Chains A and B, each alone.
Chain A
Amino acid sequence: MISEHLPILQVVLPLLAAPLIVLFRHATLAWLLAAAASWCSFVIAVLLFFTVPAGGAFDYALGSWAAPWGIGYRIDSASAYVLVLVSLIASVVVTYARTSIAAEVDRDSHYLFYAMFVLCLGGLLGIAATNDAFNLFVFLEISSLSSYVLIAIGRNRRALHAAFQYLIMGTIGATFYVIGVGLLYLMTGTLNMADMAERLAQVGETRPVLSALAFITVGLSLKIALFPLHFWLPNAYASAPSVVSAFLAGTATKVSVYVLMRFLFSVFGARLSLDALHLFDVLVGLSIAATVAASLVALFQDDLKRMLAYSSVAQVGYITLGIALNNADGLTAAVIHLFNHGITKVALFMLVGGIVLRMGTTRFSDMAGLARRMPFTAFGFVVAGLSLIGVPASAGFVTKWYLVMAALERAHWWLAALVVATSLISALYVWRFVEMAYLREPAGEVRRAEAPLSLLIPAWIMVLACTYFGLETSYSLTGAQEAAAALVRGFR
């Protein structure tokens, strides 16, 4: 039965598409292959999402080598949730990519772009699917290396330096992670996360285990751009081609957050990870600093993409805040925000891609009167922006509801107040765009130049998704709740 092999097909399909694309060396063919791979992996992810047993998991032994010897893949509710998120975003983005990269990437490197795209996708899916800590490192590096290329592939020379910065920071992060895994391996003698969790419970709070926890947390914090380790992110997102910003904003940091949660809750267990090192205080402090500082910085950016990038740093703060609160609602908020923020940011970056195509600029001051030139783009930006703020009937609201609830449950009134206060700062920077686009007269003559449908339709699918998942929460929310439960339950 093919359905037994879905966990491996999920990862292998995009990985195999990459060499094929390089062999064909043809832009359109490459696009078709990449799109096919992405959409197939989306279908597989949806199948897995709906068939994964509640409270259980699919275990897959690679090459039929049983778990402690071979590499095991394990799909439970949490990994299925992340798989759906990543493959959904990849599918929409790849559909959008064709027109967008035609404008932003030289034609002879198009096929390389698609090869790197599917490689990155394969890596990200692999991270979510695998149950082996070292295999996870390899996938982490596959996705990271390809994302460095994706960032640098455009014509903007700043992207080269941004990619280099990201390469240095990303490699440090991944190496920290692998140091942590090495220490755990020394203490437990296994790389299988399920075995590791079991044996860690016996080893207890020894110093190597605690330093492993510290190394892994810091390494992954670099990857998720947790304040103050976020400096690579704004440069990378602002100078990369729009498609790449959209794809990475929705997936790369999100998957790393998943890994962090997996280690904190499933491998180490919340009691060890959050209590022993006072990680609660550290994470709460950093999350608040992230949301407040990055939101304020976003408010004063003169570049649309950079503003969105800083907003991403701020939103990561919400996710880590949910993690730190460490109750059912807090974790649900963290998991569902992976999804909600993912689709919101992707929508925004895709719309910006249309603006780049038509206006050739992302400077804030050039957005004056944008609503007259590109009414659908501007309106979509506002709708997705509302989700960023967390207005009711938008995806962002669901997160905020759970986050505030989690803070109140732990009787942290001030945290609840901070969450709402920072969402007001995001209202300010979204409104800066509204005033610019709607209430200012454009410079020069106004020609109606809406983004082409091939860009507008995928972007609007995401915009509508922001609203849909704010009203009809049964899939996104139930999935997130089950995922949160699966993370806490671990491998039992």
Chain B
Amino acid sequence: MSFASHYSYWATIVLMVLGLYILIARGNLIKKLVGLSIFQTSVYLLYIAPGKLIGGTAPIIAEQFRIYSNPLPHVLILTAIVVGVATLALGLALVVRIYEAYGSIEEDEIIDRDRKAGQDA
């Protein structure tokens, strides 16, 4: 149980925090989506890595193999990837619409323009 033997978890945590940081720190909507994707990717890793057994193979039953990796996390993460792609696509579509409506994809500029519009009304 050393630091190195948990390296996949460390990678997960680093990715997770990185993604969240980008989400919070960046005002550009596209960059926010990039951060969101990195954040979600960390979860994929969290699920997949423990499914791997050292020396294990794909779970196709055959005479010569005794150890198999757990297939279930892969299936789950396939689903999660689909969800992630859908989210990203929807997010990008929204950004396109926002750009058409506001002429900007910077959050502070959008809020600023909304405020100005509110004052005019």
Pick the interface stretch among A91-99, A145-153, A323-331, A476-484. A145-153
The residue that B50 contacts in the complex, of A141, A148, A171, A186, with Cβ under 8 A, is: A186
Interface size on B, residues (CB 8 A): 31
Give Cα A134 to B102, complex, Å. Answer: 38
Contacts of A160 in B (CB 8 A): 94, 97-98, 101
Q: Is A168 among interface residues, defined by CB-CB distance under 8 A?
A: yes
A185 partner residues in chain B, CB cutoff 8 A: 47, 73
Q: How far is the CA of A157 from the CA of B118 in the complex (A)?
A: 12
**Contact residue among A175, A182, A183 (Cβ-Cβ distance under 8 Å from B39):** A175
Tell yes or no: B43 within 8 A of A by CB: yes
Q: Is A372 interfacial (CB 8 A cutoff)? A: no
- The answer to whether A161 and B90 touch across the interface, beta carbons within 8 angstroms, is no
Q: Map CB proximity to A onto B82-121 as digits: 1 under 8 Å, 0 otherwise.
A: 0100110011001101100110000100110010000000
CB-defined contacts of B32 to chain A, threshold 8 Å: 168
- Total contacts A-B at CB 8 Å: 69
- Chain B residues lying within 8 Å of A161, measured Cβ to Cβ, are 98, 102, 107, 110-111, 114
Q: Is the CB of B43 within 8 A of A141?
A: no
- Is A178 close to B, CB under 8 A? yes
- A178 and B80 in contact, given A160-B98, A164-B94, A164-B95 (Cβ under 8 angstroms): yes
Tell me which residues across on chain A come within 8 A of B80, comparing CB atoms. Answer: 137, 178
Chain A interface mostly: helix
Q: B101 touching A163 by the CB < 8 A rule?
A: no
Contact between B79 and A175, CB atoms less than 8 A apart? no
| Pairwise interchain contact B43-A179, C-beta atoms closer than 8 A | yes
Q: Among the listed A137, A145, A157, which residue makes an inter-chain contact with B87, where contact means beta carbons less than 8 Å apart?
A: A145
In the complex, per-residue mask of A116-141: 1 if CB is within 8 Å of any chain B CB, else 0:
00000000000000000010011001
Report the Cα distance A186→B20, complex, angstroms: 23
A138 to B79, CA, bound (A): 8
Q: With the chains together, A191 CA to B79 CA distance in Å?
A: 14
Q: A172: CB under 8 A from chain B?
A: yes
Cross-chain contact A134 with B76 (CB below 8 angstroms): yes
Say yes or no: is A26 at the interface (Cβ < 8 Å to chain B): no
Nearest B residue to A164 via CB reads B94
Task: Answer whether residue A167 sits at the interface, using C-beta atoms and an 8 A cutoff.
Answer: yes
Residues of B within 8 A of A183 (CB): 46
> Is A172 in contact with B23, judged by CB distance below 8 angstroms?
yes
Min distance, Cβ B70 to any Cβ of chain A, angstroms: 9
Q: Which of A333-375 contact B (CB under 8 A)?
A: none
Instruction: Report A161-194 CB contacts with B as 1/0, cut-off 8 Å.
Output: 1011001100110010011001101100001000
Known: A138-B79, A175-B43. A168 touches B90 (CB 8 A): no
- Give 1 or 0 for each of B42-64: 1 = CB within 8 Å of chain A CB: 01001100100000000000000
CB distance from A234 to the nearest CB of B (A): 14
Write out the residue numbers on chain A whose beta carbons fall within 8 Å of the beta carbon of B20: 172
A152 touches B97 (CB 8 A): yes
Nearest-CB residue, chain B, relative to A161: B110
Complexed CA–CA distance, A164 and B94 (Å): 7
Given A157-B101, A160-B98, A178-B43, verify A167-B87 contact (CB < 8 Å).
yes
The answer to whether the Cβ of A158 comes within 8 Å of any Cβ in the partner chain is yes
Docked-complex contact A172 and B79, CB < 8 angstroms: no
- Give the docked Cα–Cα distance between A163 and B90 (Å): 10
**Least CB distance, B110 to chain A, in whole angstroms:** 5
Most chain A CB within 10 A, of B29, B46, B83, is at B83
Q: In the complex, are the beta carbons of A171 and B87 less than 8 A apart?
A: yes
User: Across the two chains, which residue of chain A brings its CB closest to B95?
Assistant: A164
Give the residues in chain A near B43, CB-CB below 8 Å. 175, 178-179, 182
A residues in contact with B107, CB < 8 Å: 161
- Contact across chains for B110 and A167 when beta carbons are under 8 A apart: no
With beta carbons under 8 angstroms apart, the residue of A145, A148, A164, A175 that contacts B98 is A164
Bound Cα distance A152, B76 (Å): 29
CB-CB under 8 A from A191, the residues of chain B are: 76
Distance in angstroms between the alpha carbons of A158 and B118 in the assembled complex: 11
A179 to B76, CA, bound (A): 12
A141 and B83 form a contact (CB under 8 A): yes
Q: How many angstroms between the C-alpha atoms of A172 and B20 in the bound complex?
A: 8
Residues in A neighbouring B46, C-beta threshold 8 A: 179, 182-183
A172 to B19, CA, bound (A): 10
Given A160-B101, A186-B50, CB of A149 within 8 Å of CB of B114: no
CB distance from A179 to the nearest CB of B (A): 6
- Are B36 and A168 touching (Cβ within 8 A)? yes
* B118 CB, nearest partner CB in chain A, Å: 9
* Bound Cα distance A179, B47 (Å): 8
Partner pick for A175 among B40, B50, B94, CB 8 A cutoff:
B40
> In the complex, which residues of chain B have a beta carbon less than 8 angstroms from the beta carbon of A134?
76, 79
Specify which chain A residues have a CB less than 8 angstroms from the CB of B97 in the assembled complex: 152, 160
Q: Please give me the residue from chain B that is nearest to A149 by CB atom.
A: B90
Residues of B within 8 A of A141 (CB): 83, 86-87
Query: Which A-B residue pairs are the 4 nearest by beta carbons?
Result: A157-B101, A141-B83, A164-B94, A160-B98
Q: A141-B83, A172-B20, A172-B36 are in contact. List 19 more A-B contacts (CB 8 A).
A: A134-B76, A137-B80, A138-B79, A141-B87, A145-B83, A149-B90, A152-B94, A157-B101, A160-B94, A164-B29, A167-B87, A167-B91, A168-B91, A171-B36, A171-B40, A178-B43, A178-B80, A182-B43, A186-B50
